[in-house]
């Protein structure tokens, strides 16, 4: 497994004055030049003066030089590693059932769940957009304000709101949590993938059934923006962030694997906290 996301990139950014690599990404076709320029100016780079970006040749994808009379540096905005966001107790049953009722299919690929008639949901999972393990962060920064269907719940992160979840196929859920694709609500809800793939989702539009503004349980644009921004930081800045191991067959020392990975300490701690989160208190 690559320790970063550089090996599969086909777009690269350089500081024209020094030749230093600033970042890059894999482009399958859905990320437009206009969105790329917006990302450079609003997420990835901190530039002290006016700047321009020039493509080195007529071949797209390719290499881009960024020119500025001021200093160019890469943003140090925080990126958050995450676990695969499976529920670990019965507390989320109503949340899970609400998502199934709202979406009824994988809203990313469009795959219909033909087993829904018999309440069989094998292969379909409720994927948190903002991860469970950062509930304290949501409280600290009042990200609960992004959720509008739980106004009666005061002093809460509202992390288990249906507005913070999408129903998707199991294989896409894992990739979503690994920041290997995301949805840009400011580009017509387009799906953008960040590694070579045959998933058939790059350039698709997020199904309207989960984002109907007339439905009070529609997915929040703000939580989608948060995930898209994290996906940019994971895939496009510097050498990119690690892609974590998720396949742990019986007998695998899961904790040892995590401890050996980049950001392993954080993942190890999150895994322990997730397992302890719902242990009932004695008495």
pLDDT of residue 280: 45
- Structure tokens belonging to residue 99: 């998502």
Q: How confident is the model over 41-98, as pLDDT tens digits?
A: 999 999 989 999 999 876 668 999 999 999 999 999 999 888 665 544 344 577 889 9
Nearest-5° Cα angle at 140, 135 to 145: 80
**Which among 252, 274, 225 has a CA at the least distance from the CA of 82?**
274
CA dist 109 → 82, 113, 130, 177 (Å) = 23, 12, 20, 16
C-alpha Rg value of the chain to the nearest Å: 20
Q: For 232-250, what is the mean pLDDT? A: 79
pLDDT of residue 150: 75
pLDDT of residue 89: 37
Q: How confident is the model over 107-136, as pLDDT tens digits?
A: 999 999 999 999 999 999 999 999 888 888
Query: What is the distance between the alpha carbons of residues 30 and 151, in angstroms, rounded to a whole number?
Result: 36
Q: How confident is the model over 6-32, as pLDDT tens digits?
A: 999 999 999 999 999 999 999 999 999
Q: How confident is the model over 243-258, as pLDDT tens digits?
A: 876 544 455 555 555 5
> Has residue 270 got a pLDDT over 50?
yes
The structure's pTM equals: 0.86
Percent of the chain with pLDDT over 70: 78
């Amino acid at each position: 497994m690559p320790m970063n996301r550089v090996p599969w990139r086909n777009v690269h950014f350089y500081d024209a004055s020094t030749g230093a690599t600033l970042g890059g990404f894999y482009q399958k076709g859905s990320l437009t030049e206009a969105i790329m320029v917006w990302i450079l100016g609003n997420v990835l780079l901190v530039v002290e003066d006016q700047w321009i970006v020039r493509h080195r040749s007529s071949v797209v994808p390719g290499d881009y030089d960024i020119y500025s009379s001021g200093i160019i540096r890469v943003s140090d905005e925080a990126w958050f590693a995450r676990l695969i966001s499976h529920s670990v107790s019965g507390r989320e049953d109503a949340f899970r059932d609400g998502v199934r009722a709202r979406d009824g299919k994988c809203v990313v690929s469009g795959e219909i769940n033909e087993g829904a008639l018999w309440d069989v949901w094998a292969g379909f999972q409720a994927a948190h957009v903002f991860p469970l393990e950062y509930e304290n962060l949501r409280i600290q920064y009042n990200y609960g304000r992004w959720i509008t269907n739980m106004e009666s719940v005061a002093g809460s992160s509202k992390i288990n709101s249906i507005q913070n979840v999408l129903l998707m196929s199991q294989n896409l859920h894992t990739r979503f949590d690994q920041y290997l694709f995301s949805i840009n609500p400011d580009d017509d809800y387009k799906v953008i993938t960040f590694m070579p793939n045959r998933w058939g989702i790059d350039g698709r539009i997020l199904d309207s059934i989960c984002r109907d503004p007339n439905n009070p349980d529609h997915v929040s644009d703000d939580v989608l923006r948060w995930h898209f921004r994290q996906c940019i930081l994971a895939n496009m800045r510097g050498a990119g962030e690690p892609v974590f191991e998720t396949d742990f067959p019986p007998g695998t020392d899961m904790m040892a694997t995590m401890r050996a990975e980049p950001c392993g300490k954080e993942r190890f701690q999150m895994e322990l906290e997730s397992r302890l989160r719902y242990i009932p208190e004695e008495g």
